[in-house]
Amino acid sequence: MIRALLLAIVSLGLIAAEPAPAPDRPLADAAQEARARALFADIRCVVCQHEAIADSPAGIAADMRRLVREEIAAGRSDAQVKADLVRRYGDFVLFTPPLRAATWLLWFGPLSALMAAGVGLLLISRRHRTETVALTPAEEDDLARIVADQAVRPDPDAKPSDD
């Protein structure tokens, strides 16, 4: 009985908990629609968990998509559309975090850490090189004599799988 009732409800199209949002109406101009879609991927659905409005089925996401399309149709640039959204919802609404003093570490932290580590490694390898370079003339002579004595020089560290 309950099953039949549910079946009836489903077939009536009442599957969703909230009323279905108005379906998306793409912009007539293909270039404008492409711009709108690119923007959708960078705009966060403000009530969802880490979802872009491009993906979200939530009603507010549909409203935001309509808003973006309207603004683009009205001839506003991508930057203007984003600025408008940030004014309404805050920085939270964009998946690209803003670049300002508080986010310098976020944007440039990894690269500067990489460069610092690279420079550090270079310095270390320089220091190591000076440790390994100098051989006195007497040592050079010894080395030449040993090399001349031994036709084959076995590498003490080498293993067959080292090749």
Partner 1 sequence: MIVELGGFALILALALAMLQTGMAVAGRLRRSPVLAGAAEGAALAGAVAVALAFAALIAAFAVSDFSVANVAANSHTDKPMLYKVAAAWGSHEGSLLLWCLVLTGFGAVLSRARGLPFGLKASAVATQGVLGVLFLAFAVFTSNPFARLDPAPFQGASLNPLLQDPALAFHPPLLYCGYVGFSVCFSLAIAALIEGRANSSFWPAWGRWVRPWALASWAFLTVGITLGAFWAYYELGWGGWWFWDPVENASFMPWLAGAALLHSAVVTERRGALAGWTTFLALLAFTFSMLGAFLVRSGVLTSVHAFAVDPERGLMLLAILGATSGAAFALFAWRAPRLKGGGMFAPVSREGALVLNNLFLTAACATVLLGTLYPLILEAANGATISIGPPYFALTFVPLMAAAFVIVPAGPLLAWKRGDLNGVIQRLSVAVGLALLIAFAGWMAFEPKKALSAAGIGLGAWLILGTLAEVVERVRLFRGPLAESLRRARGLPLGAWGTTLAHAGLGVFVLGAVVETGYRIEAARPLAPGQTIEAGKWTVRLDSVRVVEGPNYLAEQGRLTVTLRNGAAPRMVTAERRFFPAGGQTTTEVGLDFRGLDDVYVVLGERGRTEAGAAAWSVRVWWNPWARLIFLGPAIMALGGLLSLLDRRLRFGVGRRRAPS
Side-chain-side CA neighbours of residue 157 (13 Å) = 2
- Tokens found for residue 4: 């039949």
Residues 67-96 that bind partner 1 (CB under 8 A): 90-96
Instruction: Give the span between the Cα atoms of 60 and 83, in whole angstroms.
Output: 18
Rule CB under 8 A: is residue 13 a binding residue for partner 1? yes
**Among 66-74, 110-118, 136-144, 145-153, the segment contacting partner 1 (CB under 8 A):** 110-118
- Tokens found for residue 142: 């010894």
- Most distant CA pair in the chain, distance: 102
- Taking each helix axis from N to C terminus, what angle separates 78-89 and 59-73, rounded to the nearest 10 degrees? 140
Closer to partner 1 by Cβ: residue 105 or 146: 105
Residue at 59: amino acid letter: G
Closer to partner 1 by Cβ: residue 18 or 149: 18
Rule CB under 8 A: is residue 49 a binding residue for partner 1? yes
* Site for partner 1, rule CB under 8 A: 3, 6-7, 10-11, 13, 15-17, 20, 23-24, 26, 37, 41-42, 44, 49-52, 54-55, 57, 90-98, 102-103, 105-107, 109-111, 113-114, 117-118, 121-122, 125, 128-129, 132, 157, 161-162
